[in-house]
Structure 1
């Protein structure tokens, strides 16, 4: 029996929570709510959600702080809800591990589409019916990226990544030894261009290396910094 995705909707405005809940429940998602950052973090750490819709500006703890503390313990996909003109805050959101963002005022239909896309990317079982011979797998000596099962294995052990960390690793690994500038990675992986700080990429690479290193030092060393340029995925004999 298929389990329905469980989503946490976090916003200090009741009308926004109610609107999102109504549209998401039409898709048969299970919805829980939180009205501030403290309640959101408590629920997120003590329950297993498939996705969190997280407002940026809230009392108690803002979305940045919630996401930062969440990422210390969990890789739950996070879509940040931001107001227009909060670009710097969106940059900070990406730096602490936000996977996507939606700008207010938004169309509820857009939210549903973005949620569906994120759940697809983060699903561990979406494509398990795929023919084994046709599986989309990137295989190296110390690392296997199974794009059908959305799973990363390093020396036989699974690496638990957020959707954005997974996309970054997969993007680099598809073209080994090619050097990618930070600006290019920001555009291709985050689908977002801004003239702000490029630490978004650096922060995600650092987090990705740390998670891989905890499982396989050899796999972590495949992500190489090219000083003054960006990063590449290096395959050593």
Structure 2
């Protein structure tokens, strides 16, 4: 059985050392970083199964680090913060975190959340869509060919505009993660968000009209009310 690796990222050395003791006792392999830049450097060299990421840190804070990590990786991220306001939690979850724990916290509760997130992550990976080729993303009947910029549903070709394809590919590459309208707009349009929400909504509606059997009850592109959209394999 492979030992699972957890990256602890917090500028409070006492918290890192405390969690090191609790998580090591559970059999996990621990890596440590003390700001977001160190975390990214560590991820470039090491295989990590889960990240515990503090929000308030020097050089690069947890919010910026989380957004950067989510550009390429989908392992679970649990955010830690002394801020417990609902809006702070919503922000953390909307930019890609899987869980949010306020400080001070019970180390045993955090260990339980780590186990829960890893169980969920491994189950999703077992159930995840297969890739027939490196450039193909497959979600049951939905196939996205990122090399040819082609989409098909149940072997039926679907014609998407370049922007629609970019949105669908972005969601597919972040399977199961909720992306806000602002995140989608910044990535696809590459310009300030301003009033981009309506633009994203219209494009998502067009995508659904083309790939869903019933656009009012979508199987693939799902709305997470108040946050944004995600693409997942049908349950």
TM range (shorter): 0.5 to 0.7
How far 1:158 sits from its partner (Å)?
A: 5.5
Q: Name the CA shift for 1:80/1:148 in 2 (closer, same or farther; >3 Å).
A: closer
With the length of structure 1 as denominator, give the TM-score of the two structures.
0.57
| CA offset digits 1:154-194 (Å, max 9, x no partner) | 7785669xxxxxxxxxxxxxxxxxxxxxxxxxxxxxxxxxx
- Among 211, 223, 228, the residue aligned to 1:221: 211
| 1:121 partner SS | helix
| 1:123 partner SS | helix
Rounded Cα–Cα distance in structure 2 between residues aligned with 1:78 and 1:84: 17
Q: Answer with 1 or 2: which has the greater Rg.
A: 2
Rounded Cα–Cα distance in structure 2 between residues aligned with 1:224 and 1:123: 22
Rounded Cα–Cα distance in structure 2 between residues aligned with 1:153 and 1:122: 16
Q: Which residue of 2 aligns with 1:189?
A: none
Rounded Cα–Cα distance in structure 2 between residues aligned with 1:46 and 1:232: 29
Q: Name the CA shift for 1:26/1:97 in 2 (closer, same or farther; >3 Å).
A: same
> Any conservation in 2 of the 1:121–1:150 contact (CA below 8 Å)?
no
Rounded Cα–Cα distance in structure 1 between residues aligned with 2:222 and 2:117: 28
How well do the aligned residues superpose, as a CA RMSD in angstroms? 3.7
Greater Cα offset, 46-55 or 84-93: 84-93
Residue ranges of structure 1 left out of the alignment (5+ in a row): 125-146, 161-199, 211-216
Q: Which residue of 2 aligns with 1:101?
A: 100
Matched, 1:41 2:40: yes
> Any conservation in 2 of the 1:50–1:77 contact (CA below 8 Å)?
yes
| CA offset digits 1:52-75 (Å, max 9, x no partner) | 000011001110100111111211
Q: Name the CA shift for 1:46/1:96 in 2 (closer, same or farther; >3 Å).
A: farther
Q: Name the CA shift for 1:30/1:203 in 2 (closer, same or farther; >3 Å).
A: farther
| CA offset digits 1:183-228 (Å, max 9, x no partner) | xxxxxxxxxxxxxxxxx66459959xx9xxxxxx99x9343578x9
| CA offset digits 1:123-142 (Å, max 9, x no partner) | 15xxxxxxxxxxxxxxxxxx
Q: Which residue of 2 aligns with 1:152?
A: 129
Q: Name the CA shift for 1:159/1:122 in 2 (closer, same or farther; >3 Å).
A: farther
Matched, 1:54 2:33: no
Rounded Cα–Cα distance in structure 2 between residues aligned with 1:55 and 1:225: 29
How far 1:44 sits from its partner (Å)?
A: 2.0
| 2:43 partner SS | helix
Residue ranges of structure 2 left out of the alignment (5+ in a row): 140-177, 189-206, 213-219
How far 1:152 sits from its partner (Å)?
A: 2.4
Q: How does 1:139-218 map to 2 (within 5 A)?
A: 149-153=126-130, 202-203=180-181
> Any conservation in 1 of the 2:8–2:16 contact (CA below 8 Å)?
yes
